[in-house]
Structure 1
Amino acid sequence: MARLEGRVRTTGELIAVISGRAPLRNLHSQVLWQLGVSIVRGDYPEGSILPADSDLLQQFSVSRTVLREALKTLSAKGMIEARARIGTRVLPRQRWNLFDADVLAWHFEIGPDVEFLQSLAEVRIGIELEASALAAQRRSDAQAEQLLAWADRMGEARTAEDFARTDLAFHHAVAQASGNPFMASISALVELALTASFTISSPVEDANLLRIAVLTHRRIAEAIANKDPDAARAAMKIAITEGFERSAARLAADGKVK
């Protein structure tokens, strides 16, 4: 669970609120969420067999069709595998699709450790540094102005959710300005990583941290506007590193470092 805007919400609810994704309203998504979180949390360890369908049907009080769709979705994410006369087995973690938005959200729902956050930051560095460099080479004048405007709007945020929405828009704009459709597609991972990170810590909680975050993003926007790919890479790396360090510090302060 995470807290933003005064009440406790699941990570799934926060992602829906911040990024505009569909909330967890139908039975399929609710069963999928609960099973996914249980597997990631280790309630059903790797290599173990899930309870029989009859037991799961009783547990969730849903139709067989709803349950089968949820299990089919988990299978598509590389998390489980059904075998005749054996049952549905939880697959090794290395088989899971960690680029999947739901799988990432389930990790944040149970509370990621610092190592997981660091791995995610390293992936973002591999993606977003080159996206920002390409944006510096290919951006239009309108895109450069838009990035500068988004950076300025970050400083106007008064709530964690407002800052998160603005930050998402900024990084999405960088991906679009790169002119590479694959970068724009991969930015979905970045979107989820950013959204989920705000369930741990937001710079809005500290005036100095907010000022630093705004200045860092302003430097990215200015480097892209000045068509300086090296400066764009350097500024983007600082932004990602600062976000990781802020989340890691909050986990440590809350005694949740694993």
Structure 2
Amino acid sequence: MGLLETTITGRKRRNSHAHVVAELGSAIVSGKIPEGSLLPGDAELSARFGVSRTVLRETMKTLAAKRLVEPKAKVGTRVLNRASWNFFDSDVLSWRCEAGLDFEFIEHLAEMRMALEPAAAAAAALRATSDDIVTLYAIAARFDDLSHTPETIAKVDLEFHLAIAHMSGNPFMRAASALIEAALSISFQLSSPAASPEKIDEVATNHLRIAHAIASRDPERAIAAMRHVIEVGKRRIRASLVASARADEPATRS
């Protein structure tokens, strides 16, 4: 289950391994378990979560693969500095979103999308097959629906951007799909374009421009159209965060 689907449905993975990974990973990324600290020993964690040592060993392997922890012989398992964390991992991104959204995180995410997705659109303009373009137009057409809910438009949005990553023919672009999904998950939570017919129309028009540029085999136009979509989304999310911050401010007395 991807980050967007988890955000929409609220469902979590249920097996013991996934549960312990999620509990410890979330605590590390949120700062409840500080960087540089040692995790409790197997006996304590086993008692806390009610799982076997085998499950704990697999959990530590998973967290180590995400670069959140590093086991050291005769020392224990240490939490790594956040500079080492794999933010391309969908779980790490999910835990970061759950820990709370801020302007810096939104900006960093947008910067990465700006570095990757316009390049993917340009590559798609050069490499997409005729069938690819037909598929992209079919997805783009589904934006134009005034009955969209935040959930349905987010799913179409994700499908559109992942299709372009695939059409780019570059496996590294496809591997970065977790970043796209994180951005759309944030949009779903904070400021969906489904809020008004005007925003739905704007999103439909902007994504159709990307499809037209790719179909026209015009890399530069594809880059510009993709950059515009990312920038509009970033502005919408920032405006939502500003409005939320103002709403949380204590009322001043006249």
Q: Report the TM range for the smaller structure's normalisation.
A: 0.7 to 0.9
Write the mapping of 1:162-181 to structure 2, written as runs, cut at 5 A.
162-181=152-171
Partner SS state of residue 199, structure 1:
helix
Write the mapping of 1:185-204 to structure 2, written as runs, cut at 5 A.
185-204=175-194
**Pick from 97, 100, 104: which aligns with 1:115?**
104
Q: CA deviation at 1:246?
A: 1.7
Aligned-pair identity (%): 47
Partner SS state of residue 88, structure 1:
strand
TM-score (norm: length of structure 1):
0.86
Answer whether contact 1:12 1:105 (CA < 8 A) is retained. Answer: no
Write the mapping of 1:122-137 to structure 2, written as runs, cut at 5 A.
122-137=111-126
Structure 1 moving runs of 4+ over 6 Å: none
Answer whether contact 2:7 2:185 (CA < 8 A) is retained. Answer: no
**Pick from 233, 240, 246: which aligns with 2:230?**
240
**Pick from 59, 71, 76: which aligns with 2:60?**
71
Which stretch of the first structure deviates more once superposed, 73-82 or 176-185? 176-185
Q: CA deviation at 1:18?
A: 6.2
Write the mapping of 1:209-228 to structure 2, written as runs, cut at 5 A.
209-228=199-218
Answer whether contact 2:25 2:95 (CA < 8 A) is retained. Answer: yes
Other-structure match for 1:229: 219
1:155 pairs with 2:144: yes
Unaligned runs of 5+ in 1: 1-10
TM-score (norm: length of structure 2):
0.87
Q: Which amino acid counterpart does residue 204 of structure 1 have in structure 2?
A: A
1:32 pairs with 2:21: yes
1:29/1:139 Cα in 2 relative to 1: closer, same or farther (>3 Å)? same
CA distance in 2, matches of 1:113, 1:12: 22
Deviation sequence 1:29-60 (CA, Å, 0-9, x none):
11111111101111111111222322222221
Q: CA deviation at 1:196?
A: 4.5
Partner SS state of residue 154, structure 1:
coil
Unaligned runs of 5+ in 2: 249-254
Other-structure match for 2:242: 252
Please give the root-mean-square deviation of Cα atoms over the aligned residues, in Å.
2.4
1:143 pairs with 2:127: no
Q: How many residues align?
A: 245
Answer whether contact 2:118 2:222 (CA < 8 A) is retained. Answer: yes
Deviation sequence 1:141-197 (CA, Å, 0-9, x none):
222222222112012252212111111111122122223333233334423443354
Other-structure match for 2:85: 96
Q: Which amino acid counterpart does residue 158 of structure 1 have in structure 2?
A: H
Deviation sequence 1:211-250 (CA, Å, 0-9, x none):
2211111111111112211111001001111122222222
1:221/1:32 Cα in 2 relative to 1: closer, same or farther (>3 Å)? same
Q: CA deviation at 1:97?
A: 0.9
Q: Which amino acid counterpart does residue 159 of structure 1 have in structure 2?
A: T
Q: Which amino acid counterpart does residue 93 of structure 2 have in structure 1?
A: L
